[in-house]
Structure 1
Amino acid sequence: MGDRLAPIRGEITEIVGGLSSGRTSHLLACLGEVVGRGETAALVDTEEIFDPGSAAQAGIDLRRLLWVRCGRNREVALRAADMLVRCPGFALVALDLGERVPRLPTTMAFRLKFAVRRTDVALLIVGRRRLTGSSAALAVETFREGIEWAGPGPAPTRLARMRTTTRVLRARRGAPERQPSSWWSA
């Protein structure tokens, strides 16, 4: 993920997209970038789909990642994220809401916005649709562009890689001139 699409310290960033659009791959790339610099990150996992084994294989140092499981309770996830962004010491707090993004009162969005500014943490919210409206400094949408299959025979059955495109929906610092496109290997 380029610098212009990376989460911003002291701001809210949203990554939205449908299933298999690359939003989780972008989330993992952001987590990997932060812990790779020796900083600490937190992941609030609403759907409990985070796989620590895969994350470790992707190079994420799990000793620098706090994993919060919420039992599929979105209200608990929002409260956990609210508490974590108020704690000093995290460079990034990621909130993965999955497919069922709850409604967020405007007051809560502004509360999160002011909390991340006070603690200089980057809050990354990932889900199917936008959540924080104008409180987000950066919002991007991911799309699946193509899939490549591998394996023997005329009908390969193993996913080899996927191409995604990212479109900027909102950017206070200015959007990149071209829409980034990435290949993700399986």
Structure 2
Amino acid sequence: MTEQHRNTSTAPGHAVQRAACAALAVATAAGLGLAGAGAAQALGDSQASTPTCTTSGLTASFGQKLGGGMSHEGVVLKLKNTSGHTCALRGYPGLGLEDSKHRTLGSSVHWGDTWYAKDPGKKTLTLKKNQSAEAVIAWTHANAGTSGARHATYLQVTPPANTTHKTLKLPTWVDHGRLNVTALAPDIRIG
């Protein structure tokens, strides 16, 4: 007999091993069944959760314009739920600059505090029909008309978790195309 054959023969205790293996197999199958049921429940819960707000279900507009010297400028961005149902937003809007012919300009976006407002941090916002969320966008324009500045005419706004954008008129100079933005919140405190 080979060594393998001896290990599977009717050696003493083999019946106990076989029973233990069978019990383990039954317990594993039961555990997988419970895990599968839990996964199905989680899937059902996620399908019943609030959907993400889509670009087409939101309007974008500017609220308060912000000045303050030292070549700083900014604006409050508002995203309003016009979808007809409750939806959720979380995080920071995507931003980009366009020239007067809607050609994309080189720009960069930095998340966090701005000259005008502290960053509230990422939080999931649930927007009912006609409710809004806002963020503060800030930039400098000390180098207006120099090679380091971008002369923008429009601002692209992409809601979090979306790939399409809204376009808002924003005629301004932006140093190096650098935009700073806070996370979206129900209300951003200026100052």
Q: TM-score scaled to structure 1, two decimals?
A: 0.23
Larger Rg: 1 or 2?
2
Q: TM-score scaled to structure 2, two decimals?
A: 0.23
Structure with a larger share of its residues in helix: 1
Structure possessing the higher relative contact order (Cα contacts under 8 Å, 6 or more residues apart) = 1
